[in-house]
Amino acid sequence: MNAKTMRIAVFVLSFIWLVNGELLEADQDASVPEDWILVERVGPLEEVELIFALKQQNVNQMEELLKLVSDPDSHQYGKHLSLEEVAALVRPSQLTEKVVQNWLQSHGVKNCHTVVTQDFLQCVMTVQVAETLLPGTKFHRYRRDSHTLLRSTSLYSVHEDVHQHLDFVGGVHRFPPKGKDISKGWEGARQSALGYHLGVTPSVIRSRYNLTAKDVGTATNNSQAVAQFLEQYYHPADLAEFMSLFAGGFTHMSAVERVVGTQGGGKAGIEASLDVEYIMSSGANISTWVFTNPGRHESQEPFLQWMVLLSNMSAVPWVHTISYGDDEDSLSDAYMNRINTEFMKAGLRGISMLFASGDSGAGCRHLTKERNTFRPSFPASSPYVTTVGGTSFKNPFKLTYEVTDYISGGGFSNVFARPGYQVAAVEAYLKSVQPLPPQTYFNITGRAYPDLAALSDNYWVVTNRVPVPWISGTSASTPVVGGILSLINDQRFLKGLPSLGFINPRLYKLQGKGLYDVTEGCHLSCLDDKVEGKGFCASPSWDPVTGWGTPNYPALLKALMD
Ligand SMILES: *[C@@H]1O[C@H](CO)[C@@H](O)[C@H](O)[C@H]1NC(C)=O
Ligand SMILES: *[C@@H]1O[C@H](CO)[C@@H](O)[C@H](O)[C@H]1NC(C)=O
Ligand SMILES: *[C@@H]1O[C@H](CO)[C@@H](O)[C@H](O)[C@H]1NC(C)=O
Ligand SMILES: *[C@@H]1O[C@H](CO)[C@@H](O)[C@H](O)[C@H]1NC(C)=O
Ligand SMILES: *[C@@H]1O[C@H](CO)[C@@H](O)[C@H](O)[C@H]1NC(C)=O
């Protein structure tokens, strides 16, 4: 059986359960990614942790409010809400709470925790109970390297009475995506053999983006965060060594202020080291938090768990950068729509969410032997986050201008329509750039990304006490941009202004002001004879490869200081 017939079989089988209930997330890909190995069927008395996403109220109202507080031309610009105010808006109806609670209680599920917004319930129960609660599920243990988790690879239904009160149940499907290979080791080694030995360090970043020694954080209440979910840990000693080796000439911190979640005891991951080292170099002297694998119960969905955690903490940093993404086509619409409302909640609170655009250019999905399409990634494709692409120096040995890094993720969502703030920019691109890739490869009406970019090529990172060169990826550019937005927040706080919050509506109104436009180069895509590995190309003004371009700090600060 190939994957497709398998999915159809699973789908048909699941209908048997319709007698008791209705499918939630019928469009979720429940197949096992090839890098996960089946270990065993899980015993009935083993425990599993599930997250119930309860239907929220006033989602449309929240979306309208987000537009107002993020639009610099609105009287409500910057009038952000506290978590408690967000809770008053979205909290599920009493009926929803009651129905879901009764349903759980009637199955003997007692060990549940809720959040301030009351819209998530995180519950531990035995596998036996979970399988009766969610007809269709059958939990197995899977392993990838040293990481194990519980998942069901058949779709699930819920009792018809609760169906309308839930968005989805977390911890059943969705394997954590594979961390990317962010080292261009071979290419780097080749350059080194030719005698070049230059790479991106904090001083390169700071001079390219026009940060002077004075451009560091000074406000007492400022903070920024990186979030890590893929069994990635940073090591405090690596950070300290990185700062002493590379961070001369500007005031900075050399330790993380707060770690939320559990850091594993294993080796440091390059990606985690990269995030922390660079957000603390561009956002220098700003208090930095690391969110890492919150909750360690087997079967968790760490990304979802992080979103749940944000709805339970009234004070969280103002800027979050995240290098995490999954193929849009592997996720259910119900899940993505709900994650979007979680991003709206963050935006309403004045929090900026920055996601890496991905490292596979436009991506490629093989539909049939003959037919390919590009493959957007989520949350990069969400209309409610700011997505960061990647660039490299035109001349890798000089602080020259930037061109597209061919890996820079970008393209058009197949799920989310183009949000109002980017309509003019994207239409201008579509009109002026010819030829575009064939329209069978992408959905021309979708949310287009990224929104902006920064250098993503040839970074130095210290990991496991060793300085490592040639690290590349949009996981490098994202914390750099995050740190720069934190510096702008800092200046705003000193003037008594609110945080930037969800910046896209304002960013698109700037029309590129405060950014270096990136106009050269194309990113990669399907290696077939129709597109020959080429996706979209950069162009003057906004493009779906580097967005509006890369930050010129003093100019961007000036444009965002009211
Ligand atoms: C949310 O925070 C409260 C208070 O600290 C705690 O009791 C509860 O368990 C938390 N919820 C979750 C899902 O962790
Ligand atoms: C660094 O930040 C602290 C507040 O966290 C501030 O008191 C100090 O002046 C800052 N250092 C510089 C050089 O601005
Ligand atoms: C710092 O921020 C917290 C919320 O994040 C707020 O409650 C507090 O009043 C702020 N303090 C100052 C001095 O602005
Ligand atoms: C194209 O995107 C829109 C949302 O903008 C969506 O409704 C539609 O289904 C998508 N079409 C395809 C073929 O994916
Ligand atoms: C930024 O730096 C470049 C190169 O050093 C310089 O030419 C430019 O004037 C600077 N821009 C601003 C706005 O300060």
pLDDT 10s digits, 273-290:
999 999 999 999 999 999
In sign, the C-alpha dihedral spanning 156, 159, 164, 166 is negative
Report the alpha-carbon distance of residue 414 to residue 327 in Å, rounded.
11
pLDDT tens figures, 82-133? 999 999 999 999 999 999 999 999 999 999 999 999 999 999 999 999 999 9
pTM: 0.94
Structure-token match 């006033």, residue found: 58
Q: How far apart are CA 141 and CA 299, in angstroms?
A: 8
Residues 287 and 318: beta-carbon distance below 8 Å: no
Amino acid identity at 203 = S
**Cα 113 → chain centroid:** 25
Pocket test for ligand 2, best of 211, 212, 218 (most atoms within 8 A of CB): 218
Q: Whose CA is nearest to atom 7 of ligand 3?
A: 315
pLDDT at 7: 52
CATH 3.40.50.200 residue spans of the chain: 200-559
Cβ of 220 less than 6 Å from ligand 2: yes
Take atom 11 of ligand 4 and give the residue whose Cα is closest.
Answer: 414
Across residues 2-21, what is the average pLDDT? 51
Verify whether ligand 3 is closer than 6 Å to residue 315 (CB atom): yes
Tell me the per-residue pLDDT of 35-71, one tens digit each, with 9 for 90 and over.
Answer: 999 999 999 999 999 999 999 999 999 999 999 999 9
Strand partners, 141: 40, 150
At residue 181, the pLDDT reads 60
| pLDDT classification of 196: cutoffs 50, 70, 90 | low
Q: How many angstroms does the Cα of residue 216 sit away from the middle of ligand 2?
A: 8
Residue 210 in contact with ligand 5 by CB distance below 6 A: yes
Q: Which ligand is nearest to the CA of 257?
A: 2
State how far the Cα of 122 lies from the Cα of 54, in Å rounded to an integer.
Answer: 11
Could you tell me if the CB of 552 is within 6 A of ligand 5? yes
Distance 416 CA to ligand 4 centre (A): 7
- How does strand 139-144 pair with strand 21-23? unpaired
433 CA distance to ligand 4 middle (Å)? 22
Q: Is the pLDDT of residue 14 over 70?
A: no
Helices (H), 72-184: 83-90, 94-106, 127-133, 160-163
pLDDT band at 297 (very low <50, low <70, confident <90, very high): low
Tell the residue number behind the tokens 């809770």, with chain if given. Answer: 87
Q: Which ligand is nearest to the CA of 316?
A: 3
The listed CATH number (3.40.50.200, 2.40.110.10, 3.40.50.720, 3.10.20.30) that belongs to domain 200-559: 3.40.50.200
> The tokens 């979910």 sit on which residue?
229
pLDDT at position 147: 84
pLDDT confidence of residue 189: 46
Residue 210 and residue 64 in contact, taking contact as beta carbons nearer than 8 Å: no
Closest ligand to the CA of 415: 4
Cα angle vertex 94, ends 93, 96, to 5°?
65
**221 C-beta closer than 6 A to ligand 3:** yes
Token couple for 174? 């969705």
Q: Whose CA is nearest to atom 10 of ligand 5?
A: 210
Query: What is the predicted pLDDT for the residue at 180?
Result: 66
Helix (H) or strand (E) segment spanning residue 336: helix 333-348
> Nearest-CA neighbor of 495 among 421, 425, 561, 399?
561
**Pairing, β 223-228 against β 287-292:** parallel
Whether 191 shows a pLDDT value over 70: the answer reads: no
What is the Å distance from ligand 3's center to 345 Cα? 19
Q: Which residues are catalytic?
A: 271, 275, 475
> Ligand 3 centroid vs 221 CA: distance in angstroms?
6
As given in the structure block, the two tokens for residue 233 are: 């840990």
Helix (H), strand (E) at residue 61: helix 59-70
Considering only residues 231 and 485, tell me which one the structure prediction assigns the higher pLDDT.
485
